[in-house]
Amino acid sequence: MQYRTTMIAPPAEAAGLVNTFYIIETGAAPIEEPVPAYAAQLLVMVRGQIRFTFADGSTGQSARVFINAPQMRSAHAVLEGPVLQVGASLTHTAWQRLANLPADEVHDRLIPAEAVLTPDQIATLEAAAIACDEGRIAPEDLCQHLTAVIAAGPHGLREDHVAVVDAILGWLASGFDPALADLHASVDVSPRQLQRISRRFFGVAPAQVLKRFRALRAAMMLSQPAVSRDLHDQLMATYFDQAHLIRDIRRYTGRTPTQFREQSLARDMLDPAAHGDAGTPLKAAAE
């Protein structure tokens, strides 16, 4: 076995907290893969290790329990097998409730578990990882433990901030190239407040959020052979030319469009369900 990826839809109790759970299992041989620009992730390593190199050249090493902060760009990972990893992709509001770390200040890096979680939470996840490694529980059972930790996020959020985040997500899900004016018309805050809230939860201003989501959608489309020609043409029409498409996809996924024809972990991780509202216009085509 070179690798196997399993995506797990969040149960009702994780709705609004987790985009998806996933399990990655590899053989003994090292695997090098790009990691697409992704939401914050809470990760448990049952076995093996992963080394990350981020866009700015900084590096990080996995621990038994660790966090990958929101990524603004793709990263490079080396999986030193045999690997068994269980992860949760957090929604933007769940990340702030859990960590209270603005995405425009803390991104593209690994965060030690102890910087965010309590000692009891870490101990529970570590014990579950050991139980899984020993075969006493299944990897899927770790999702329940991850949900409990994420749901216990101790930081409150302002209702008006959550409303703006919801509006941004609704705007992103409304089409491949929604007008910025439509977003401004849908929120009850000033343009400056909108920019500030967007940076806190998404890392960048709305126009740049759209650019990142559009590139991820293009990559998802290229990795989903069942996508219709009409949907393909709609998305491709949002790019000025092929050069802009290639540049953005490489920036946010670490791959070129032609590389998505090859089976890979990066391709598997571009399942539309794994990216929340970024994948909304493509989910029906993938089902």
CATH number of the domain residue 127 falls in: 2.60.120.10
Helix-, strand-, coil-residue percentages of the chain, each rounded to 5: 50, 20, 30
Query: CA–CA separation, 97 vs 155, rounded Å?
Result: 5
Please give the structure tokens belonging to residue 219: 């990559």
pLDDT score for 287: 44
Shared domain for 87 and 128, answered yes or no, is yes
Domain boundary among 134, 151, 168: 151
Shared domain for 136 and 169, answered yes or no, is no
Shared domain for 42 and 112, answered yes or no, is yes
| Greatest Cα pair distance in the chain | 55
Domain boundary among 128, 151, 174: 151
DSSP letter (8 states) at residue 48? E
Number of domains in the chain: 2
List the one residue out of 183, 240, 175, 237 whose CA is nearest residue 206.
Answer: 183
Shared domain for 38 and 140, answered yes or no, is yes
**Residue found by looking up tokens 């702030």 in the block:** 96
Shared domain for 65 and 200, answered yes or no, is no
List the one residue out of 155, 150, 89 whose CA is nearest residue 121.
Answer: 150
Shared domain for 99 and 170, answered yes or no, is no
List the one residue out of 181, 185, 240, 182 whose CA is nearest residue 211.
Answer: 240
Compute how many other C-beta atoms are within 10 angstroms of the C-beta atom of residue 255.
23
Domain boundary among 151, 185, 217: 151
DSSP letter (8 states) at residue 19? E
Shared domain for 112 and 137, answered yes or no, is yes
Shared domain for 79 and 179, answered yes or no, is no
DSSP string, 150-207: HHT------HHHHHHHHHHHHHHHT-SS--HHHHHHH-SS-HHHHHHHHHHHHSS-HH
* Residue 54 φ then ψ, to 5°: -95, 175
Shared domain for 19 and 110, answered yes or no, is yes
Omega within 30 of 0 (cis) for the link into 257: no
Shared domain for 121 and 215, answered yes or no, is no
Q: Please enumerate, as own/partner, the contacts of 224-229 that have beta carbons within 8 Å and a separation of 24 or more.
A: 224/272, 224/282, 224/285, 224/286, 226/285, 226/286, 227/282, 227/285, 227/286, 228/285
pLDDT score for 236: 74
> Alpha carbon of 255 to those of 180, 249, 280: distances in Å?
28, 7, 22
Shared domain for 180 and 121, answered yes or no, is no
Determine the residue type at 264: S
Q: What is the pTM of this model?
A: 0.90
Q: pLDDT tens digits for the chain (287 residues)?
A: 688 899 999 999 999 999 999 999 999 999 999 999 989 999 999 999 999 999 999 999 999 999 999 999 999 999 999 999 999 999 999 999 999 999 999 999 999 999 999 999 999 999 999 999 999 999 999 999 999 999 999 999 999 999 999 999 999 988 888 999 999 999 999 999 999 999 999 999 999 999 999 888 888 877 776 667 777 777 777 876 788 888 898 999 988 877 766 666 666 666 655 555 555 555 544 44
Query: CA–CA separation, 151 vs 161, rounded Å?
Result: 19
Range of the domain at 242: 159-286
Output the domain CATH number for residue 181.
Answer: 1.10.10.60
List the one residue out of 193, 186, 154 whose CA is nearest residue 172.
Answer: 186
Shared domain for 165 and 141, answered yes or no, is no
